[in-house]
Amino acid sequence: MSAHVPSTAATGTERAPASAPLAAFAGLRIVEVTSDRSAGALTGRMLAQLGAGCERIDAGSAAAGATVDEPPDEVASWRAALAMMYGAGKQLREPAALDDLDGLLSGADVLLVDDAGIRAMGGSKALDAALSRFPELICCPVTAVGGHDGAGGDTATELTVEAAAGVLGTTGHSLEETVRAGFPVGDIIAALNAVSGTLAALIRRQRTGEGTRVDTSVFDGLFFFLGTFMAKWLAAGIEPQPVGNRHPVIGPWNDYPTSDGSVVICVATDAAWGRLCELLGTGGEREDWPAWSNNERVARQDEIDVWISEWTRTRTSDDVLTQVDQLGVPCSRLQSLAEVLDSQQTRARGLIEEAANGASIARLPFRLRRL
């Protein structure tokens, strides 16, 4: 199976050339001991995209007594594609390399592990021992739920960590129908935290010559972003509920039906609210609506949503977006993934690149050039 996302031929999507290696990362050596679709593996992929040399040991096959999962063919195809994507730019090494840990880590700048990697290396103490033998090493464990023995990898998946961390309970249209994110948001957040922690440690090493241990977890990363919801509980003892497609403390903010689909409209300021009121036309019983504060709008969003829906329902999405955008009010069409990857914006920004292993992968999420 080929591990490509839509190619030029398949969808018209242009693919950017591979990210150019950066001078700062030339000669940097990463040793990665991870399973193949984890936050740790994604962290290593990002470092490889910057130009670091990344040697990966598959912690799944290195673990004693590892079980072999046998999913249906379509799932196996998906897993294989992801393994190619997350493995892009890495050199695969045999698990036997772990038998000579000093040899493996000699000359390494960064040791990157996940739960499976911690277990494969004999536990967290082995990481500290490695740091004591190689005092300039940067060691970054990226785990599911923290802890020191790597057991979290056996007792948690993305779904259960999203559930434990409150992300699942605050996403959805009602308490009975809460839902996870449609992609592994916890792994992605953890990987970005891990890569930043690692880069910050490299900056410190330039100055002090000292290595660093940088720990982070999927749970910790998700918890950090709960502020919007946590504020209600901490300030007023109100248990936050899932808010559907609304914002918990700003409004009106929702998806609205049009004659040919649906759009999202978000009013974030009093001025934007005033302009929207002018466009839709207030009068009669709505005469005082333009003066409503944000807090009043949030409290009465049911009424406001009915009003906005009456207006959008009789217009096409293009018509609604054109008129609302002219007000400077943020709005958007709900796009499918296929539409996204084939969009003008995605093409213009070159968000897909072809890796050396032939996989089409996401370009690093920022652009960098000389000022």
Does residue number 202 form part of the binding site for other proteins (CB under 8 A)? yes
- CB-based contacts of 124-128 (< 8 A; 24+ apart in sequence): 124/148, 124/149, 124/150, 126/101, 127/213, 128/213
Cα separation, 344 vs 350, in Å, equals 10
Nearer to other proteins, 70 or 99 (CB): 70
List the one residue from 129, 264, 279, 280 that touches other proteins (CB under 8 A).
264
Site mask for other proteins (CB under 8 A), range 291-320, x = bound: --xxx--x----------------------
DSSP state of 353: E
Kindly report whether the peptide bond that precedes residue 184 is cis, defined as omega within 30 degrees of 0: no
Q: Contact region for other proteins (CB under 8 A) — 56-64, 89-97, 244-252, 282-290?
A: 244-252
Q: Under rule CB under 8 A, which residues in 341-360 are in contact with other proteins?
A: 341, 344-346, 348-349, 351, 360
Nearer to other proteins, 33 or 164 (CB): 164
Cα separation, 133 vs 243, in Å, equals 51
Does residue number 15 form part of the binding site for other proteins (CB under 8 A)? no
Nearer to other proteins, 40 or 184 (CB): 184
Give the phi and the psi of residue 360 in degrees, each rounded to 5: -90, 125
List the one residue from 93, 123, 151, 232 that touches other proteins (CB under 8 A).
232
Nearer to other proteins, 97 or 166 (CB): 166
Angle subtended at Cα 162 by Cα 150 and Cα 138, rounded to the nearest 5 degrees: 40
Cα separation, 209 vs 189, in Å, equals 28
Cα separation, 165 vs 146, in Å, equals 13
Nearer to other proteins, 95 or 166 (CB): 166
Q: Under rule CB under 8 A, which residues in 42-101 are in contact with other proteins?
A: 46, 50, 67-72, 74-75, 77-79, 81-82, 85
Q: Under rule CB under 8 A, which residues in 105-144 are in contact with other proteins?
A: none
- Crossing angle, helix 317-326 and helix 270-280, to 10 degrees? 130
Please enumerate in sequence order all residues whose Cβ is within 8 A of that of 99, keeping only pairs 6 or more positions apart, or say none: none
Nearer to other proteins, 97 or 181 (CB): 181
List the one residue from 221, 277, 292, 308 that touches other proteins (CB under 8 A).
221
List the one residue from 325, 356, 357, 358 that touches other proteins (CB under 8 A).
325
Closest contact distance (angstroms) between CB of 245 and other proteins is 4
Cα separation, 111 vs 113, in Å, equals 7
List the one residue from 100, 318, 339, 357 that touches other proteins (CB under 8 A).
339
Does residue number 274 form part of the binding site for other proteins (CB under 8 A)? no
How many residues make contact with other proteins (CB under 8 A)? Answer: 156
Does residue number 278 form part of the binding site for other proteins (CB under 8 A)? no
Q: DSSP string spanning 218-274?
A: HHHHHHHT-HHHHHHHHHH-PPP---TTS-SSS-SEEEEEETTEEEEEE--SHHHHH
List the one residue from 31, 63, 104, 331 that touches other proteins (CB under 8 A).
331
